[in-house]
Structure 1
Amino acid sequence: MSSEISRRKDEHIALASSDAVAFRERTTLLEQVTLIHESLPELALEEIDLATELLGKTLRAPIVIASMTGGTERAGSINRELAAIAESRGYAIGLGSQRAMMRDPSMAPTYRVRDVAPNALLLGNLGVVQARDLATADIVRLIEDVGADALCVHMNPAQEVVQPGGDRDFRGGLETFARLAGELKIPVVAKETGCGVSARVATKLRDVGVKTVDVSGAGGTSWVAVETLRAQGAAKALGESFWDWGIPTAVSVAWVARSGLAPIATGGIKSGLDVARAIALGARAAGIARPVLQALQAGGRAGAEAFLDRVEAELRTAMLLCGAGTLDELRNAPRVIGPELASWLGTM
């Protein structure tokens, strides 16, 4: 079983590094958020404050290097490089699913990054189906092993039903969130994996004690697509039908914010302007995954740092040009919402 998980993880890295697993037609709809230009911003660019509070820690900028991998030697190397970048830049860093180390403790070192990121906000990661079947004490051991500050509990039914050998029984998920929110001493983050979170689900999560949701909306990497490219026969045909399934990132961010929860805007975030638009819709921070991985693989740490420099410069510039000196001011900045996004936001 552990060798099968490791093989799958390596395949995931290879596929997620390419643009072949992007959504085909569905977009994030962040392009439908237009921030209104301010000709008299009365701000100095260098004085704009990008800091945000997330899960009990202050980030220098509202960026999460989003959950991607773990469970293989290659994955461990990627985790350590990205964690070191997050530490140096004051970001948060998310680990990939810890299912592999749960099944095989010898894989635990591929998730351990505290020696290179002692201060970064570190997010552990476990599937809700796996969490459902584990005692809380066992989950605590997984958290303590990596020194996580919070635990992402991911929801991925669309991915699993296409994945060869994936989960098929998703009962007990909400009860699991209620148990963990009540029993863990660290925050629990409800996290999707590319299909977004509806207003209905956000309300259910809020009512059982969850306070933060990583929306991981449609428009970026399609994990259905990842599994479709790994599948054969009927499973492959099923995946082709559901390749573009999901709620756009912009919609999920707005719905989660309306519910009173703190959204992390992950899913198709490619630029600082995307980050600005997500913050304007209510996000506390934005998660970036595939573009960071691609930049790292193309140019090493210098390449990843250059990409993130550009993201921060674009975010800071967007804030200046709409007269927002802080992220709270950006959330209240005037904006125009395009018709497709407006149509989504008019429904629940």
Structure 2
Amino acid sequence: MGIQKRKEDHLELCLQAQVESRNKTTLFEDIEFIPNSIPQVNLDEVDPGTFFLSKRLKAPILIGAMVGGTKRAQAINKALASAAAKYGLGFGVGSQRAMHELPSLALTYQIRDVAPDILFLANLGIQQARNISSEEIQALVDSIEADAISIHLNTAMELIQPEGDTDFSKSYETLERLNQSLKCPLIVKETGGGLSREVGLKLKAIGIDLVDIGGAGGTSWVGIESLRSQGVAKQLGELFWDWGIPTAASLCELKNLGFTTIASGGIRNGLDIAKAIALGATVTGIALPFLKEYASGGMSAVEAYIDYLVKGLRMAMLLTGCRNLTELQQQKLVITGKLKDWLISRHLPLP
């Protein structure tokens, strides 16, 4: 099957099927803020802005990596990038593997004509990156005028995907090479599996400073590939549909390791964003909801969703007496339920 057809399959399944975690959640529901009944803050003072990769964001939100490589993806990327520009958010494209194999598809990833100044992330899988020179990868970044590149990890997905690449050797060596040789920042990005403390320590040892935890509880790419598969592969996809570290747990796994962290994986509202920031994230990534909002209601629906996210975050900040994200990161939290069990089992400190 051609890569364009596979990309279109992914897009259609994301829009039409139930592709999120089934029995596993992000565990953000096990986190409680301490309400401040007398916050002494004017809502007009509450500023959710931040700097990430030297660019100012009006809110700590990246519209996440999802699509590219098809005409429909081109329209979606331009629309979501223009929304990011209007509201001061960041934006990332889906995997540029299709573009590397067919350079004519570059235009499906290019968004600078509608969003000249936004924080913009390129994207490539670790298996492809292993077999491509640093110069070629830098060219992929430069050809779409991106500010940085996410190298994504999707081991479980590749094991289920009919066309999957199941050679995962030399991954750390590849990341170290790229981190040392690329002219742009490199982000190591999970895609639903989450990052453990053990992996985090190894990434730190090779000089990685930027990670996107991509935890479990949101879109299941194993599930998407299960829906595309037949026979034993489909059965295995069903079995491993919810594989991964829940997003909140993954944030705790990496806490105090010194990473600049993007929290993604099942973040759906402003309260989720607030909890992720309080657990140590610098910004958050949200993908599937934006795709669905655009497909169902166009730009007006996308803008309404952004408004919902930002207002929810600012409300959480005011209700805890926080004027900015630095103060939010200093909030004390109550950890309960499965997340508390996870932290105790893993001998991790409670936030």
Displacement of 1:119 after TM fit?
Answer: 0.5
SS in 2 for 1:102: helix
Q: Tell me which of 3, 9, 12 is aligned to 1:11.
A: 9
Partner of 2:236: 238
Displacement of 1:56 after TM fit?
Answer: 2.1
TM-score (norm 2): 0.97
What stretches of structure 1 of length at least 5 have no aligned partner?
none
Partner of 1:187: 185
TM-score (norm 1): 0.97
What stretches of structure 2 of length at least 5 have no aligned partner?
none
- Which amino acid counterpart does residue 288 of structure 2 have in structure 1? R
Aligned residues: 346
Displacement of 1:205 after TM fit?
Answer: 1.1
Partner of 2:176: 178
Displacement of 1:19 after TM fit?
Answer: 5.4
Is residue 146 of structure 2 the alignment partner of residue 143 of structure 1?
A: no
SS in 2 for 1:185: coil
SS in 1 for 2:122: strand
Q: Tell me which of 146, 162, 165 is aligned to 1:164.
A: 162
Deviations 1:235-281 (A, max 9, x none): 10111110010000001122223321011111001100110111111
- Which amino acid counterpart does residue 224 of structure 1 have in structure 2? V
SS in 1 for 2:188: strand
Partner of 1:343: 341
Q: 1:18 to 1:31 in 2, by over 3 A?
A: farther
Partner of 1:229: 227
- Which amino acid counterpart does residue 10 of structure 2 have in structure 1? H
Displacement of 1:18 after TM fit?
Answer: 4.1
Partner of 1:23: 21
Distance 2:272 2:90 in 1: 18
SS in 1 for 2:116: coil
Q: Tell me which of 275, 278, 295 is aligned to 1:277.
A: 275
> Map of 1:85-104 to 2, 5 A cutoff?
85-104=83-102
Distance 1:328 1:222 in 2: 32
Q: Tell me which of 186, 199, 202 is aligned to 1:201.
A: 199
Q: 1:322 to 1:19 in 2, by over 3 A?
A: farther
Partner of 1:304: 302
Q: Where do 4+ consecutive residues of structure 1 move more than 3 Å?
A: none
SS in 2 for 1:21: coil
Partner of 1:119: 117
Kept after mapping to 2: 8 A contact 1:29/1:249: yes
Partner of 1:286: 284
Distance 2:328 2:31 in 1: 13
Kept after mapping to 2: 8 A contact 1:256/1:262: no
- Which amino acid counterpart does residue 194 of structure 2 have in structure 1? G
Distance 2:174 2:246 in 1: 26
> Map of 1:250-265 to 2, 5 A cutoff?
250-265=248-263
Q: Tell me which of 126, 134, 137 is aligned to 1:128.
A: 126
Distance 1:246 1:63 in 2: 23
Kept after mapping to 2: 8 A contact 1:213/1:256: no
Deviations 1:105-156 (A, max 9, x none): 1111000111111110000000011011011111111111001101000000
Distance 2:163 2:68 in 1: 19
Kept after mapping to 2: 8 A contact 1:35/1:336: yes
- Which amino acid counterpart does residue 160 of structure 2 have in structure 1? V
Give the root-mean-square deviation of aligned CA atoms.
1.0
- Which amino acid counterpart does residue 339 of structure 1 have in structure 2? G
Displacement of 1:22 after TM fit?
Answer: 1.0
Displacement of 1:21 after TM fit?
Answer: 0.8
Deviations 1:164-194 (A, max 9, x none): 0101100011111101111111110000111
Displacement of 1:345 after TM fit?
Answer: 2.2
Partner of 2:44: 46
Distance 2:261 2:250 in 1: 8
Q: Tell me which of 25, 32, 35 is aligned to 1:34.
A: 32
Distance 2:55 2:87 in 1: 14
Distance 1:19 1:234 in 2: 21
Deviations 1:30-65 (A, max 9, x none): 111101100111111111111112122121110000
Distance 1:309 1:266 in 2: 19
Kept after mapping to 2: 8 A contact 1:66/1:288: yes
Distance 2:81 2:33 in 1: 32
Distance 1:280 1:241 in 2: 33
Partner of 1:213: 211
- Which amino acid counterpart does residue 105 of structure 2 have in structure 1? M
